[in-house]
Amino acid sequence: MEINEFIGIPLILFMIFVAPIWVIMHYRSKNKMSEGLSDSELAQLNDLSSKAEKMADRIKTLEAILDAESPNWRREHEHS
Q: Is the pLDDT of residue 80 over 70?
A: no
What is the reported pLDDT for 9? Answer: 81
Q: Rounded to an integer, what distance in angstroms lies between the CA atom of residue 65 and that of residue 80?
A: 20
Residues 57, 50 contacting (CB under 8 angstroms): no
Report the amino acid identity of residue 39: D
Select the more confidently predicted residue: 58 or 2: 58
Band the pLDDT of 10: cuts 50, 70, 90: confident
Structural domain spans, the chain: 1-36, 37-80
- Distances in Å between the alpha carbon of 30 and those of 22, 23, 25? 12, 11, 9
pLDDT digits (tens, 9 = 90+) for 11-51: 888 889 899 999 999 988 887 777 777 788 889 999 999 99
Q: Rounded to an integer, what distance in angstroms lies between the CA atom of residue 64 and that of residue 57?
A: 11
pLDDT digits (tens, 9 = 90+) for 58-79: 999 999 999 999 988 888 877 6
